């Protein structure tokens, strides 16, 4: 039997992804850097985009779905006057317009684009259509007709206007929201066309750009990083927004074996719940036991770490 390569390392590395690099390439580089057995990322960034890319090692990979579902923040530059096949600067020009909206025109359309909306994804996206990726169909000259999808956009703000041709925005949104679609739709709502010229993710769940490091800095001392991965954040960091419940050793063992616990038999009081899904993070001392759900007066384990 062949030996599995890599060390058992658990935690989060928050990478400031560089321009022109794919998210999977970042994960592969981080995995080599830490000689880690298992790694993955939470929330793909296109090569055009920079910013916060959380990389999970070991047990942290089990918390990736909660980061994927978390609120994210972006900053992007919209270039007016040209629509492009990819809705960003890498695509071919589809149409042009001489109209350049004033700041007041732009701000006037933003309220109608926030909240629970229906968004048409970019044709060059990873969505599957009939078993094929949309971007593969588009590259083959058969761009699919993608239907609108539900999206939650909490806020869009115009923060800067460098010149008539460009406008800079910040966006706070839920999962599965395409910034390229937002940029395209802002331009169309203003009576012109446009595309994203620059895009940066500044926040992904509990992870901020202030937490992020560049892999170039880390690779200056690979051996030191492998010996002492000081940049890793604890697995529980991803669950910071989930109410926590302290459990005893016996309760932790029971949950670990998949047992459902009656609430009236749990030693610690329940935390205040501000979410309707009833999800609780069970903690035993410094250790995250797992995620549980409150169901009819009982605590049911969902995912054990």
Is-contact 199 49, C-beta < 8 A?
Answer: yes
* Ranges assigned E (strand) in 148-220: 149-163, 166-173, 194-204, 207-208
Q: Which residues are catalytic?
A: 46
* CA nearest neighbour of 173 among 195, 149, 193: 149
CA dist., res. 85 & res. 105, Å (int): 25
Q: Give every CB contact of residue 273 below 8 A, 6+ residues apart in sequence.
A: 243, 280, 294
* Structure tokens, 58: 């070991």
Burial grade of 103 (CB within 10 A; 0-12, 13-18, 19 or more): exposed
Is-contact 284 249, C-beta < 8 A?
Answer: yes
Q: Count other Cβ atoms within 10 Å, centred on residue 54.
A: 28
Q: Give every CB contact of residue 39 below 8 A, 6+ residues apart in sequence.
A: 27, 30, 31, 55, 56, 57, 61
Is-contact 194 81, C-beta < 8 A?
Answer: yes
CA dist., res. 301 & res. 285, Å (int): 18
């Amino acid at each position: 039997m062949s030996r599995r390569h890599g060390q058992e390392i658990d935690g989060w590395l928050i990478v400031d992804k560089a321009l022109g690099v794919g998210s999977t390439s970042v994960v592969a580089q981080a995995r080599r850097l830490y000689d880690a057995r298992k790694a993955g990322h939470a929330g793909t960034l296109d090569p055009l985009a920079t910013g916060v890319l959380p990389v999970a090692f070991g047990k942290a990979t089990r918390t990736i779905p909660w980061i994927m579902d978390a609120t994210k923040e972006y900053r992007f530059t919209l270039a007016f006057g040209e629509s492009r096949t990819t809705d960003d600067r890498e695509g071919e020009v589809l149409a042009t317009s001489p109209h350049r909206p004033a700041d007041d025109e732009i701000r006037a359309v933003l309220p109608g684009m926030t909240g629970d909306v229906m968004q048409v994804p970019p044709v060059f996206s990873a969505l599957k259509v009939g078993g094929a990726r949309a971007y593969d169909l588009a590259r083959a000259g058969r761009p699919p007709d993608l239907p609108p999808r539900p999206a939650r956009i909490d806020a869009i703000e115009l923060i800067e206007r460098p010149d008539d041709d460009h406008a800079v925005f910040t966006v706070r949104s839920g999962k599965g929201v395409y910034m390229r679609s937002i940029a395209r739709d802002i331009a169309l709502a203003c009576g012109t066309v446009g595309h994203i010229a620059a895009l940066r993710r500044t926040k992904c769940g509990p992870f901020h750009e202030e937490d992020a490091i560049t892999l170039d800095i880390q690779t200056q001392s690979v051996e030191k990083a492998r010996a002492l991965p000081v940049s890793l954040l604890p697995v529980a960091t991803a669950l910071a927004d989930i109410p926590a419940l302290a459990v005893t050793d016996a309760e932790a063992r029971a949950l670990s074996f998949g047992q459902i616990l009656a609430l009236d038999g749990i030693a610690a009081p329940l935390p205040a719940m501000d979410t309707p899904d009833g999800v609780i993070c069970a903690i035993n001392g410094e250790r995250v036991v797992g995620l549980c759900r409150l169901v009819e007066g009982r605590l049911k384990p969902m995912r054990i770490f």
